[in-house]
Every structure is written in structure tokens, then in C-alpha cells.
Structure 1
């Protein structure tokens, strides 16, 4: 099997550096570099442009990257099916996630997973954005879902999706006709919000963090279903990603408008796994399905 060399190639492509990739893989730089050179020799072409500040995929490398991701996904699926044949169909999947992604993303994957691994056990813990990577590093979780940026050492991002923050409101709200909403406009209306720290830090979006600290919400609640009902009832508007409200947006029960804050428009959510410990085949299969579902959700966020 050539899964190892493909993993090395994917990580070098992601990091743009053999050294950085080797640190994430916990493998010697020389071993990673040797495998990349061997791969290029077998294919008869270079896969990277060697630049002064690192490596960049060339057209051949871009094509191989697509193949490598597809191949590794199919390999993990096959591993899971073989484990099931051998009777290794039980295990414990531990997920730490920001609350908005527990409404549809995680439950949908669990439902799908039950068809293949009905005996699997789950621990699914809601956590704030900064807590998720720490839980993955410590072993409290094997899989994390959170906003990505400068993550701590010990975690690897295996999938990302664009996930901007905007304003969720009922149809007919005074802000509904605007293509985007400023924080100043948002502050003129009643707001509801989760009873937790802001989903993004002051380092990620200082203007939004200041706004969050300064508002006096009409209602504060830790339950997303309750917050959804309050917004529908017209008690207030809320600042969230679309992903937690996709069903409501598709039905037209709620509307979403982007906030006119550049940092919020560039936010990405990622699926994190530990760097220094290998996940069991069944857990890795869950990760692959989660990544695929996240990408489907990203494509499905083009709703009003």
C-alpha cells in the first residue's frame, strides 16, 4: 500500500514545507523528503515549484493532490469495512465541537455511520472555539470542530470550509432588505445571543469582539433550539454562521445576511485530529465522512 507516501505528499502540499510537514507527521524531514523525491522519480516529473520561501504545487502536483485525497478516502473506507468483517466494529468516537455544528453536521454523520457501525459508542461534547484544540491534544476528544486560524501544536486540520458570521433574523425584519449589515446597524435592534464567550477572539476580529462585549442582549441562552425559536418569534436577531440554521433558511422561516466585517467573512471552520497519535480505522472513517458532510454543507449554504 502507498498510503504513507500519499499522506506525506498531502501534508507537504498543505504546509508548503518539508520541515513543517515532518513536524506535523512526527517523521524525520529526510524521510519525508526522500518519499517526495521517490514519488517524483516514479512519475517522471516534479510535483512542486521549489521557491525561496517554500514549496508550491505545480499543475502536475495539483492533479496528484486530487488523486491522493480520493485514494486515501477510499483506503480508509476499505479499512473500516475490513475491520467490520474481522469483528472490530465496536469503538468509542469522541467529538468536541462548537455548538452550531451539533445541530445538523454531527448528528447527520452519526446517523449515516450507524448503518456501517451500529455498535459504535459516542461522546459528543459542546465546547467553545478555543477549548476544542486543547481537548483534542489532551485526548478528551479524537475529533474537533472549530474555527481555524493559528492552532496550537499537536493538532492537524484535515478539512476546512468557509463559515462566515452574519445576522439571523425573521422574514420582514427591517434589516432583511439589505445585502449586508454593519455592526452599528445591528446594535440598533434587539439581540439574542448564546451564554458563552464570543465565537471568535479579539485577535481574529477585534471590532466584532468589542461589539459582542458591549451589547445588552434581550435574551441569553445556552440552547441553540431555544435561540432559534426566540429569533423566529421576533424577540431579537442573532449573530451566527448559516450552518446552524440551514433548514430554517431553506424553508424561508429565517433569513441570514452577512456582517460587514472583513475578518468575519474570511472565517473557516475546520475538522481537527491529533498529530501525535494515530486514530483507529473506525474513527478515521468517521472523520472522512464528517469531512465530506462539511463540504456538502458549505456548498449548501447558498440560501437566502
Structure 2
């Protein structure tokens, strides 16, 4: 199987439509159909189910898609490593990071790094922890800045800093004047939380379990600012990291005394695949920054 055919297969698997895939790839529909036939012949089985003139990736196709993406990523990595050896101060870093780090940590680190290595470019992805881990695992991205730590069987990890978790409550709430509390003090409150399987939601689930809380979840959000906004509006309380700056004056953040009320933010990369030199350089830069403790 040629690399071009692998790339065609990935596009076809993502669109599940020959006409749409052909348009994306800039080839004719018959050409793509013949390539798919050859690809399935080499695989020894059909990789799509044909349903009402559309394609549906089947179990065999999903296996092939996973390995095709890895193969393409490996070839991209080889090209990048060769280019980096020829010019170690250039190349690109594919970086994935949490939504909640987009307004301070990641921009600041990028600014500092680019002062030292202005010719190195970045491809960025902002998303939840489970998507970051998947994109790094499949080779789509080199490194991720995430929390909590993913499966150590698949990922290497370097802790960057630790932040405490707190309970966000509306101003005027009965708990707003407390200097610090255990989460059990809010056991009867309605909660605003992130959706499963977001990383902060996993940590919140652990805290609820630790204090034997069966939470009344009134809304599941996809970003922390949404949680804060709903808390300010009086919809409920929320477990969030201690804020840095620019917080809503209508929200009070009460530190939690639970031993597990912290979020470790760290750097991950696939332990089975060497980092391209630009990504290794950026990873070393982040690791040398030391741990920040809030």
C-alpha cells in the first residue's frame, strides 16, 4: 500500500462518501473508487459497509484507519526529523492543550519559546483531556499539556505544575464567607460540572466519591467559563481550579481542604515514539521551567 493510498483511505474514512472525498482530494470519483477497490483487495476484506449509496466504516475499516493514521504520522515524523537534522532551528511542533490553559499558560510559554527559537512553527489544538490523549496516541500531535495523567502504559509524563481546586459559589451564598471548606459542606447543593470524560470532571468525580456525595448535577458544560457563568447566575456551585485573574466578581472561590483537591498539569508524549527534534526542544523548554505551585 502506497502512502498516497493510505492518505486517500483516511479522507474516505472520515467523509464516508466517495464524491465528497474525491472533491477534498482533487481526484475523480472513478479514480478514488478504483483505489479503494485495490486497497480492500490488499487488505483481504471490505473495509466499508455499503448503505444506501453511502459508505460506513466497519470493524475492519476502523482497525485499518487506526494503523493508516499511525503510518502517515510516522512518515511525517521521519520527514520532520530529517529536516530538523538539516536545520535544527526550524521545523514545527504539534501541540495539544487544555481549554483552561488557553488564556495564560500556553500563550506565555509559546511567547517565551519563540523568543529563543523564532523559526520553529506550531500547529495547535485546544480541547479536552481525552481528545488530547487520543491525538497524541495516534500521532496526530507530538505533545500535549493536560490533566489528569493518562495511562502510563501509553504515555510518558512530566509534571509542569499543580493547582489547587476550590468550590465556586455565587456571591452571597451561605458558603461564600468561609475561608476554606471540605466538599462535603456542599453535599446538598446543586452542582454545575463538566461533561464526562473531561479531565476536571474525573477529578470532581473522585472528590464526590471521597466525601460520599451523590451530586445533584443541574448542568454539564464543556468549558470552565460556562460553569463560572452559571454559578454567577445562581444555578449551582462548581469545583474549579483556583482562578488566576480576571474572574467574575459575582463568583466567590472557596479553597477545598480535601487532600485530593488539586489538579496536576503535565506534559505527555507517546512513550513508544521518539519526539521530532523541534518537539523535543519545546518539551525540554517546558520541563526546565520548573513546577509552579499555587
TM-score range (shorter-chain normalised) is 0.5 to 0.7
- Report the equivalent of 1:6: none
- Report the equivalent of 1:105: 105
Distance change in 2, residues 1:186/1:288 (3 Å)? farther
Q: Counting helix residues as a fraction of each chain, which structure ranks higher?
A: 1
Unaligned stretches of 5+ in structure 2?
1-83
Instruction: Give 4+ residue runs of structure 1 displaced > 6 Å after superposition.
Output: none
Q: Secondary structure at the match of 1:200?
A: helix
Q: Secondary structure at the match of 1:288?
A: helix
Residues 157 and 268 in structure 2, CA contact (< 8 A), matched pair in contact too: yes
Does residue 268 of structure 1 match 2:264? yes
Q: How does 1:89-238 map to 2 (within 5 A)?
A: 89-95=90-96, 97-115=97-115, 116-117=117-118, 120-128=121-129, 130=130, 132-148=132-148, 151-197=151-197, 199-200=201-202, 205=207, 207=209, 211=213, 214-217=215-218, 219-238=219-238
Give me the whole-angstrom Cα distance separating, in 2, the residues matched to 1:150 and 1:186. 29
Residues 171 and 255 in structure 1, CA contact (< 8 A), matched pair in contact too: yes
TM-score normalised by the chain length of structure 1? 0.54
TM-score normalised by the chain length of structure 2? 0.56
Distance change in 2, residues 1:232/1:112 (3 Å)? farther
Distance change in 2, residues 1:224/1:210 (3 Å)? same
- Aligned-pair RMSD on alpha carbons? 3.7
Aligned length: 208
- TM-superposed CA distance for 1:126, in Å, is 0.9
- TM-superposed CA distance for 1:239, in Å, is 0.6
Give me the whole-angstrom Cα distance separating, in 2, the residues matched to 1:112 and 1:253. 33
Q: Secondary structure at the match of 1:141?
A: coil
Q: Secondary structure at the match of 1:226?
A: helix
Which structure has the greater CA radius of gyration? 2
- Report the equivalent of 1:287: 283
Q: Counting strand residues as a fraction of each chain, which structure ranks higher?
A: 2
Distance change in 2, residues 1:86/1:279 (3 Å)? same
What does the per-residue CA deviation read over 1:102-135, in whole Å, with 9 as the maximum and x for residues that have no partner?
332223223334443366131313123x554444
